[in-house]
Protein backbone atom coordinates (compact mmCIF):
# COMPACT_ATOMS: atom_id res chain seq x y z
CA UNK A 1 0.00 0.00 0.00
CA UNK A 2 1.07 3.57 -0.64
CA UNK A 3 -0.51 6.98 -0.18
CA UNK A 4 -1.32 9.13 -3.20
CA UNK A 5 -2.68 12.67 -3.27
CA UNK A 6 -4.77 12.79 -6.41
CA UNK A 7 -6.31 15.86 -8.03
CA UNK A 8 -9.79 14.76 -9.00
CA UNK A 9 -12.48 17.12 -10.27
CA UNK A 10 -10.78 20.11 -8.66
CA UNK A 11 -10.28 18.52 -5.24
CA UNK A 12 -7.28 16.76 -3.72
CA UNK A 13 -8.15 13.25 -2.54
CA UNK A 14 -5.78 11.09 -0.51
CA UNK A 15 -5.96 7.35 -1.09
CA UNK A 16 -3.96 4.50 0.40
CA UNK A 17 -3.84 1.75 -2.21
CA UNK A 18 -1.53 -0.68 -3.97
CA UNK A 19 0.42 1.37 -6.57
CA UNK A 20 -0.68 -0.97 -9.35
CA UNK A 21 -4.39 -0.39 -8.70
CA UNK A 22 -6.10 0.87 -11.87
CA UNK A 23 -7.54 4.38 -11.54
CA UNK A 24 -10.96 2.96 -12.43
CA UNK A 25 -11.11 1.12 -9.10
CA UNK A 26 -9.55 3.99 -7.15
CA UNK A 27 -12.30 6.26 -8.48
CA UNK A 28 -15.16 3.82 -7.93
CA UNK A 29 -14.15 2.01 -4.72
CA UNK A 30 -12.02 4.53 -2.83
CA UNK A 31 -13.23 7.98 -3.93
CA UNK A 32 -16.83 6.79 -4.50
CA UNK A 33 -17.21 8.34 -7.94
CA UNK A 34 -19.22 5.66 -9.74
CA UNK A 35 -19.82 7.60 -12.96
CA UNK A 36 -16.72 6.01 -14.47
CA UNK A 37 -17.88 2.59 -15.63
CA UNK A 38 -16.32 -0.84 -16.02
CA UNK A 39 -16.86 -2.47 -19.37
CA UNK A 40 -14.10 -4.68 -20.73
CA UNK A 41 -11.10 -4.04 -18.46
CA UNK A 42 -8.69 -4.24 -21.41
CA UNK A 43 -8.76 -0.66 -22.79
CA UNK A 44 -11.07 -1.52 -25.69
CA UNK A 45 -14.60 -0.27 -24.93
CA UNK A 46 -14.06 3.22 -23.49
CA UNK A 47 -16.60 2.91 -20.66
CA UNK A 48 -13.89 3.83 -18.14
CA UNK A 49 -12.62 6.94 -19.98
CA UNK A 50 -11.53 9.93 -17.90
CA UNK A 51 -9.52 13.02 -18.72
CA UNK A 52 -5.95 13.08 -17.46
CA UNK A 53 -5.09 16.75 -17.85
CA UNK A 54 -6.50 17.29 -21.36
CA UNK A 55 -6.08 13.75 -22.64
CA UNK A 56 -8.75 11.06 -22.73
CA UNK A 57 -7.40 7.88 -21.13
CA UNK A 58 -8.78 4.45 -20.30
CA UNK A 59 -8.71 4.34 -16.51
CA UNK A 60 -8.96 0.52 -16.41
CA UNK A 61 -5.38 0.35 -17.70
CA UNK A 62 -3.97 3.37 -15.84
CA UNK A 63 -2.15 2.46 -12.60
CA UNK A 64 -2.67 5.01 -9.85
CA UNK A 65 1.12 5.35 -9.55
CA UNK A 66 1.27 6.79 -13.11
CA UNK A 67 -1.01 9.76 -12.39
CA UNK A 68 1.35 11.96 -10.38
CA UNK A 69 0.39 15.66 -10.41
CA UNK A 70 -1.93 15.38 -13.40
CA UNK A 71 -5.57 16.45 -12.97
CA UNK A 72 -8.22 13.78 -13.35
CA UNK A 73 -11.66 14.77 -14.58
CA UNK A 74 -14.50 12.27 -14.39
CA UNK A 75 -18.01 12.66 -15.75
CA UNK A 76 -19.06 14.04 -12.35
CA UNK A 77 -16.52 16.85 -12.78
CA UNK A 78 -17.79 18.11 -16.13
CA UNK A 79 -20.29 20.44 -14.42
CA UNK A 80 -21.61 20.80 -10.89
CA UNK A 81 -25.27 20.89 -11.89
CA UNK A 82 -25.30 18.09 -14.49
CA UNK A 83 -25.82 20.46 -17.42
CA UNK A 84 -22.82 19.32 -19.46
CA UNK A 85 -23.97 17.64 -22.72
CA UNK A 86 -22.17 14.40 -21.84
CA UNK A 87 -23.88 14.26 -18.43
CA UNK A 88 -27.24 14.93 -20.07
CA UNK A 89 -26.63 12.24 -22.68
CA UNK A 90 -26.02 9.63 -19.96
CA UNK A 91 -29.27 10.65 -18.28
CA UNK A 92 -31.14 10.47 -21.59
CA UNK A 93 -32.06 14.16 -21.53
S1 LIG B 1 -13.32 -0.84 -19.15
FE2 LIG B 1 -13.32 -0.97 -21.35
S3 LIG B 1 -11.78 0.43 -21.93
FE4 LIG B 1 -11.68 0.41 -19.76
17: CATH: 3.10.20.30
Q: What is the pTM of this model?
A: 0.92
Ligand 1 pocket member 37 (CB < 6 A): no
Dihedral (Cα; 5, 7, 10, 11), 10-degree rounding: -20
In a mutational test of the pocket of ligand 1, which residue from 22, 25, 34, 46 has the highest number of ligand atoms less than 8 Å from its CB?
46
Q: How many domains does the chain have?
A: 1
* Per-residue confidence in pLDDT tens, the chain, 93 aa: 999 999 999 999 999 999 999 999 999 999 999 999 999 999 999 999 999 999 999 999 999 999 999 999 999 999 989 899 988 988 887
**Distance from residue 49's CA to the centre of ligand 1 (Å):** 7
Ligand 1 pocket member 56 (CB < 6 A): no
Q: What is the 3-state secondary structure (H, E, C) of 9-56?
A: CCEEEEEEECCCCEHHHHHHHHCCCCCCCCCCCCCCCCCCEEEECCEE
Domain of residue 13 covers 2-91
Amino acid sequence: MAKFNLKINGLTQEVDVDPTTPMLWVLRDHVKLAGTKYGCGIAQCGACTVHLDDNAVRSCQLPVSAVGEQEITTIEGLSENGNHPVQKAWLGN
